[in-house]
A and B are shown apart, each in its own frame.
Chain A
Amino acid sequence: MIHPPIDIQVVLAVTIGGLVILIAAILWFMPRLTRPDLYFAVTVPPEFRDGAEGKSILQRYRTELVVASVLALALFVGGVVWFGIGFVSVGHLIELVAGFIVFYRARQLTFRYAVQPTTIREAELHQHDRVIPGGWMVASGPFILLAGCAAYLWIHGVETPVRLINGQPVEFRGHSLPVYLLAVSGALVSLTLMLYGLTRWVRPIHASGPERQRELKFRRTISAILLASEYFVTLQASWIILTRRDYGLIRVVIFPLTFVFVIAVFVALARLGQGGSRLSAADPKPATASASPVGDRTPDAYWKLGVFYFNPDDSAILVEKRFGLGYSLNFARPTAWIIVGLLFMAPLVPIVAHLTHFLPKLGV
Chain B
Amino acid sequence: MLRVDLASRVPVYEQIANGLRAELVSGKFKPGEKLPTVRTLAINLGVHHNTVAEAYRQLANEGWLELKRHHGAIVRDRDQPTAGPDTMGKFTRPLRELIAKGLADGLSPSALAREMIETARRLEAKTPL
Contacts and interface: CB of A to CB of B under 8 A. Distances in A.
Contact of A121 (B6, B36, B39, B49): B6
A121 B45 contact: yes
Contact of B1 (A203, A207, A298, A312): A207
B90 interface: no
Given A207-B1, A315-B39, A121 B23 contact: no
The A interface, classified by DSSP as helix, strand, loop or mixed, is: loop
A321 interface: no
A312 B47 CA distance: 9
A203 B43 CA distance: 6
B36 A297 contact: no
A313 B6 CA distance: 11
Interface stretch (A87-95, A123-131, A186-194): A123-131
Q: How large is the interface on B (under 10, 10 to 19, 20 to 34, 35 or more residues)?
A: 20 to 34
B48 A313 contact: yes
Interface string A203-214: 110011000000
Contacts of A122: 1-3, 44-45
A52 B40 CA distance: 41
A251 B2 CA distance: 52
Interface string B31-42: 000011001111
A125 B44 CA distance: 10
B28 interface: yes
Interface in B10-57: 20, 23, 28-29, 35-36, 39-49, 52
A59 interface: no
A202 B20 CA distance: 22
A124 B23 CA distance: 11
Given A119-B7, A123-B41, A314 B23 contact: no
B115 interface: no
Given A119-B6, A315-B39, A124 B1 contact: yes
B1 A125 contact: yes
Q: How large is the interface on A (under 10, 10 to 19, 20 to 34, 35 or more residues)?
A: 20 to 34
B23 A125 contact: yes
Contact of B47 (A200, A207, A313): A313
Given A313-B48, A315-B39, A119 B1 contact: no
Contacts of A312: 48
B5 interface: yes
Contacts of B1: 122-125, 207-208
A180 interface: no
A315 B43 contact: yes
A204 B28 CA distance: 21
Contacts of B39: 315
B60 interface: no
A120 interface: yes
Nearest to B52: A315
Contact of A315 (B7, B20, B48): B48
A193 to B, nearest CB: 17
Contacts of B44: 121-124, 203-204, 207
B67 interface: no
A317 interface: yes
B6 A315 contact: no
A201 interface: yes
B35 to A, nearest CB: 7
A315 B42 CA distance: 6
Contacts of A208: 1
A125 B52 CA distance: 13
A336 interface: no
19 contacts: A119-B7, A121-B3, A121-B6, A123-B36, A125-B1, A125-B28, A125-B35, A126-B28, A201-B43, A203-B43, A203-B44, A207-B44, A297-B46, A298-B46, A313-B47, A315-B43, A315-B46, A315-B48, A316-B43
Given A124-B44, A313-B48, A316-B46, 20 more contacts: A119-B7, A120-B5, A120-B6, A121-B6, A122-B1, A122-B3, A122-B45, A123-B41, A125-B2, A125-B23, A125-B28, A200-B40, A201-B43, A202-B43, A203-B44, A204-B44, A207-B2, A298-B46, A312-B48, A314-B48
Query: Which 3 pairs show the lowest CB-CB distances between chains A and B?
Result: A315-B42, A123-B44, A119-B7
Interface of A: 119-126, 200-204, 207-208, 288, 297-298, 312-317
